[in-house]
Amino acid sequence: MRMSFRLIFSLILGVTLLSLLFAVFQGRAEKRSLQKELESRAAIFGDSLESKVANLLEYRSHRRLQELAGEFGKREPLMGIAVFDKGGERLAATPGLEDYVSTELPVILQSISSDSRKAEFKTLNEKFLHFYVTPVHDEAQEAGALVIIHDASYIKAQTLQLWWRTFLSTLAQAVFIALVTLLIIQLSILGPIARTTKWMKELRAGRGAAGRHGLDEKDLFQPLAQEVTHLARSLTYARAAAQEEARLRETAEARWTPERLRVHVRSKLGDRPFFVVSNREPYIHSFKGKNVEVTVPASGLVTAVEPILRTCQGIWLAHGSGDADRLAVDENDCLQVPPDDPQYTLKRLWLTKEEEEGYYFGFANEGLWPLCHIAHTRPIFRSKDWECYQSVNQKFADALLKEMQGMEEPGVLVQDYHFALLPQLVKERLPGARVAIFWHIPWPNPEAFAICPWQAEILKGLLGADLVGFHVQSHCNNFLETVDRVIESRVNWERFSVERSGHITQVRPFPISVAYPEAGTPERSGASPYLDRATLMKEHGVETTFMGVGVDRVDYTKGILERFQGLERFFEKYPVFLGQFTFVQIGEPSRTHIKRYHDLLGEVESEAERINWRFQTSKWKPIVYLNRHHSHQELRRYYQAADLCLVTSLHDGMNLVAKEYVAAHEDNQGVLILSRFTGACRELRDALIVNPYDVEQLADAIHTALVMDHAERDDRMRRMRQVVKDFNIYRWAAELVTQLCEIRLDTHVEVS
Ligand code: ADQ
């Protein structure tokens, strides 16, 4: 409050001083203009009288002169006139003026002696007067002088009045400005500060929510609001992490948390630098209208890998794919991330359209993706795509090696099938690097893999790594069998490793998972899923009792069409559920540049429409199809509200949707229907396991899920939640890093 009074006082003082200064100038200008006006009036008047006075002087008619002077009394502001002869003797004067005009006035004598017009303002007998003296000439060119006297006190009065007016208006303005300022300060500064202070107190006491700081984020406080939000989030997060750690210690639970991962990674890596390479970047800058927006792609990878990189301030190399990505990087194409709390470096690599076409869409997604997924879509292998794939792998390897220059034993974690050749390219030039590659998709049997024309090159590339990770043991086995058949090497089936040219590659399963509980969300939301379901379905104009959900990228491996067939059969077989059960399919369009994916989008849409057309009523329909990306918060609402979740992949490395659904079901009341061809089905044994090609089985599983009694649902979900809880994403990252760090690089030949 003292500060605002100081501010107001300074403001009033400043405004008043400025206005007074302005008033001084204005007063002076006004005075000068009134004086000038009076001077010219006197001059005109003098000119008009001059000849008349000259005549009377010439004829020495003093009486007539006195009569003339008498005529000009009391014509305000004119006080009168006086006439002097050339000797300076007063000949006539308007009555009453005698006291003011005498030759003692220097101006009169100066005018007569210099024979020129003179004027002056003078205060006489407390009167402010103006004297105008003009010489009067007769025939002989010397006669006397005419003096015109004006009362100039009105100039002073008017100037004073102007001063007063200015002073009063200044005062009024200053008071008004002060009041408005006070109001603005109160509303825009003191109010928000008071609210924020209250919120901070609550936050300190552990009661406030991170975003409710009371500052307007579009206004004056925008930068502060952002910082305060980050600070509050960090505080809330740190407090939750500390509480969770304490709770885990108390219950002697060995659950993995981001904090535990951080400590673990620090102890394993020590001062060793760490690098991650992936095709997809963790932060994408893109234009939204004229603004640039940062998004985190929906994937568990960022959640898992970030704590590692944060711990060792590592570098993440990825393809810069956002249309505003170039605006955010420095001259080395790097930026510090996360944007709101920078802790590690993201280095972006740029690919040409042709490179992206050949390496990403071509070889990786039209070749390797269908090759590794047994989903009856034929892989396409083009030499041009293969060349692109090789050159892009080389490009990433060069960039990585440049960053690792001079380092002795850096750790490198390569992600996925986009970079099969990278491990070898790196190890050839920097044998001291510890390189792991994690293959997120399945590895098929050797017969299936054999159709790839460059299978040997791909295997050699992968075997450059010290560690190759898959989701499940059967993918490891398939990989080792493929290696055994295709290239000259020694496969050790006891240790699950391959020795080739004196280098050993370990092959291990690391089942990926989700964060549990989800990062930034309270473990229990407390909201009733049934209420939320009604609201959710109302948003889509549907009234229903039961609800199911499916969440996928629209990909032919996910079995979306098979799922729809199962749903159709379910309604045929169990018509009592018509009008009672609705299935929400959330399908994010993916890789739509590829014809197969583009066509699939249309097929999924028309199949949903066909089934809806067959069964729907005015207030109900069997399928709600939402073909866009949803945030994790949005997905969570659907997961929590759904009685069942359908995961019907024809082949899937792991499938994170199954685990996300389980992690979201805090009430233990959802049922997971899970394809037997997913990696997840090895862990989530309490799901209803189905063959997605078996339409009858699918329909029956939906029915079983909907009629399952409360206790059984509870039992199954509880056990699945325990699995996801114990084997969460942090554990995945910890095990990968541990394994990589424990490999002995100097052991070139294994002792069997
Ligand atoms: P994906 O084939 O992409 O991953 P999945 O494991 O199901 O498949 O992960 C998909 C992720 O995207 C999930 O986190 C899901 O929430 C999200 N997602 C899907 N549809 C979405 C939508 N419409 N809106 C928003 N988010 C959506 C590959 C392999 C998998 C393996 C993972 C991780 O194919 O087998 O499990 O990598 O290793």
Task: Say how many Å lie between the CA of residue 371 and the centre of ligand 1.
Answer: 19
Task: Tell me the per-residue pLDDT of 405-446, one tens digit each, with 9 for 90 and over.
Answer: 999 899 999 999 999 999 999 999 999 999 999 999 999 999
- CA 440/CA 597 separation, integer angstroms: 20
Q: Look at residue 437 and give its three-state secondary structure.
A: strand
Under the banding of pLDDT at 50, 70 and 90, the label for residue 257 is confident
> Using CA positions, which residue lies closest to atom 28 of ligand 1?
440
Taking the C-alpha atoms of residue 88 and residue 102, their distance in angstroms, rounded to an integer, is: 8
Q: Is the pLDDT of residue 698 over 90?
A: yes
Stretch 657-661: mean pLDDT: 96
Which candidate, 460, 438, 458, places its Cα nearest to that of 368?
458
CB of residue 445 inside a 6 A radius of ligand 1: no
Residue with CA nearest ligand 1 atom 33: 440
Ligand 1 centre and the CA of 652: distance in Å? 10
pLDDT in tens, 463-474: 999 999 999 999
Residue nearest to atom 23 of ligand 1 (CA): 588
Closest C-alpha to ligand 1, atom 11? 299
Which residue type does 165 have?
R
Is the C-beta atom of 518 inside 6 A of ligand 1? no
The pick from 278, 279, 299, 365 for probing ligand 1's pocket by mutation, whose C-beta has the most ligand atoms within 8 angstroms, reads: 299
Mutate to test the pocket of ligand 1, among 654, 677, 732 (most ligand atoms within 8 A of CB): 654
541 Cα to the center of ligand 1, angstroms = 28
Question: Which of 303, 472, 553 is the best mutation target for the ligand 1 pocket, counting ligand atoms within 8 Å of the beta carbon and taking the most?
Answer: 553
Distance 736 CA to ligand 1 centre (A): 20
Residue 551 Cα to ligand 1 middle (Å): 8
CA distance 177 to 164: 20
Q: What's the predicted TM-score (pTM) here?
A: 0.72
* pLDDT > 80? residue 588: yes
Q: Is the previous residue joined to 509 through a cis bond, with omega within 30 degrees of 0?
A: no
Instruction: Give distance in angstroms: CA of 701 to centre of ligand 1.
Output: 23
Instruction: Identify the weakest region by mean pLDDT among 73-82, 278-287, 319-328, 419-428.
Output: 73-82
For residue 494, name the pLDDT band (cuts at 50, 70, 90): very high
Of 639, 657, 672, which is best to mutate to test ligand 1, by the most ligand atoms within 8 angstroms of its C-beta? 657
Tell me the mean pLDDT in the region 675-687: 98
Of the candidates 637, 671, 673, 646, the one whose C-alpha atom is nearest the C-alpha of residue 529 is: 637
Contact 689, 647 (CB under 8 A): no
- Weakest mean pLDDT among 105-114, 282-291, 377-386: 105-114
Q: Is the pLDDT of residue 530 over 90?
A: no
Distance CA 223, CA 216 (A): 10
Please state, in angstroms and as integers, the Cα–Cα distance from residue 431 to each residue in 411, 425, 426, following that order: 11, 10, 8
Q: Which atom of ligand 1 is nearest to the CA of 658?
A: 7
Name which of 6-10, 358-362, 418-422 the model is least confident about: 6-10
By mean pLDDT, which of 100-114, 231-245, 249-263, 582-596 is the weakest?
A: 231-245
Distance (Å) of CA 730 to CA 307, 477, 486, 600: 8, 25, 35, 35
Q: Whose CA is nearest to atom 19 of ligand 1?
A: 552
Cα dihedral 619/622/626/631 (nearest 10)? 90
pLDDT computed for residue 337 by the predictor = 96
User: Residue 342 has what pLDDT?
Assistant: 92
Task: Report whether pLDDT(188) > 90.
Answer: no
CB 260 within 8 A of CB 244: no
Q: Check pLDDT > 60 for residue 519.
A: no
pLDDT band at 73 (very low <50, low <70, confident <90, very high): confident
Q: Does ligand 1 lie within 6 Å of residue 655's CB atom? A: yes
Query: Residue 749: which pLDDT band, with cuts at 50, 70 and 90?
Result: very low
- 123-137, 353-367, 630-644, 736-750: lowest mean pLDDT where? 736-750
pLDDT at position 750? 45
For residue 680, the ligand 1 atom closest to its alpha carbon is 36
Given this model, what pLDDT does residue 253 score? 64
SS3 state of residue 467: strand
Summarize the confidence of residues 472-496 as an average pLDDT.
Answer: 97
Q: CB of 706 closer than 6 A to ligand 1?
A: no
Q: Kindly report the three-state secondary structure assignment for every residue of 363-411.
A: HHHHHHHHHHCCCCCCCCCCHHHHHHHHHHHHHHHHHHHHHCCCCCCCE
Report the interhelical angle of 222-250 vs 258-269 (nearest 10°).
80
pLDDT at 229 over 90: no
DSSP string, 598-617: HHHHHHHHHHHHHHHHHH--
Atom 20 of ligand 1, nearest CA residue: 552
Per-residue pLDDT at 655 exceeds 80: yes
> pLDDT digits over 605-645, tens only?
999 999 999 999 999 999 999 999 898 889 999 999 999 99
Best mutation site among 415, 557, 655 for ligand 1, i.e. most ligand atoms within 8 A of its Cβ? 655
Pairing mode of beta strands 671-675, 644-647: parallel
Strands 127-136 and 344-349, sheet pairing: unpaired
Give the Cα separation of 403 and 313 in Å (integer). 13
Helix 222-250 with 191-204: angle, nearest 10 deg = 10
Q: Which of 117-126, 157-166, 686-695 has the highest mean pLDDT?
A: 686-695
Q: Ligand 1 within 6 A of 591 CB?
A: no
Average pLDDT score over residue span 256-270: 88
d(CA 667, CA 294): 33
**Cβ-based neighbours of 201, under 8 Å, separated by 6 or more:** none
Strand partners of residue 648:
none
Distance from residue 654's CA to the centre of ligand 1 (Å) = 9
pLDDT band at 522 (very low <50, low <70, confident <90, very high): very low
Task: Give residue for tokens 């901070």.
Answer: 200
pLDDT computed for residue 614 by the predictor? 98
pLDDT in the model for residue 68: 86
Residue 635 CB–ligand 1 contact under 6 Å: yes
Query: Omega into 379 within 30° of 0, i.e. cis?
Result: no
Domains of the chain: 2-157 (3.30.450.20), 267-509 (3.40.50.2000), 529-726 (3.40.50.2000)
pLDDT by residue (tens digit) across 551-568? 999 999 999 999 999 999
The beta-strand segments (E) located in 86-126 are 90-93, 118-124
